[in-house]
Amino acid sequence: MPPKPLRECKAYGCKALTREAYCHEHKHIKQEEIKHYNKHSRDKTLTSFYKSTDWKRTRQLVLLRDNYLCQRCLREHRFTPADMVHHIVEVKEDWSKRLDLSNLESLCNACHNKVHGDRSKQGQ
C-alpha cells in the first residue's frame, strides 16, 4: 500500500508538509490544546450523553433510516456516505430533543462542517 500523500500542516499559517494532520513542530501543541479543552471546557453532560447506549442506538436508527447517506448531499442529487448524525436543534439548545428522530439527520463530514463551521479554524 502506498504511503499517504504529503499535505500542509493543519496549524494555521504553517506550510510544512506532513502525512499526519500536524507537522512534528505542531503535533505536541495541538495535543496540549486538546487536553486543556477536555479538562476545562468540555461539557461533561454532553460527553456522557454521546457515550450513552441510548445515543448509540438512536444514532444507528437514524443512519439506517437514512440508508447511511448524507441527507444534504442527497437533496442536491449527490450520493455521499454519512459519517455522523446531526442534531438539527442542538442538544445545548433543547435537551428534550436529544433523542427525537425528527430532530436528527445523517450527514457527511463536509456538510456537518458547513453547518457548524470548520471548528479547526475557529479561534485562530
Residues 6 or more apart whose CB falls under 8 angstroms from that of 89 comprise 97, 103
Residue 73 lies in a domain: yes
Percentage with pLDDT > 70 across the chain: 88
Residue ranges making up the domain that contains 96 = 44-118
- Residues 49 and 107 placed together within one structural domain of the fold: yes
> How many residues would you count in the chain?
124
- Residues 92 and 72 placed together within one structural domain of the fold: yes
On the question of pLDDT at 119 being above 80, the answer is: no
**For 21-75, how does the pLDDT look when each residue is reduced to its tens digit (9 = 90+)?**
888 888 877 777 767 666 666 788 888 999 999 999 999 999 999 999 999 999 9
Percentage with pLDDT > 90 across the chain: 60
Answer for the pair 5, 19: CB distance below 8 angstroms, yes or no.
yes
Count of domains forming the chain: 2
- Residues 35 and 50 placed together within one structural domain of the fold: no
Residue 38 lies in a domain: yes
- Residues 52 and 20 placed together within one structural domain of the fold: no
**pTM as predicted:** 0.64
Q: By three-state DSSP, how is residue 47 classified?
A: helix
Q: Cα separation of 15 and 25, whole Å?
A: 11
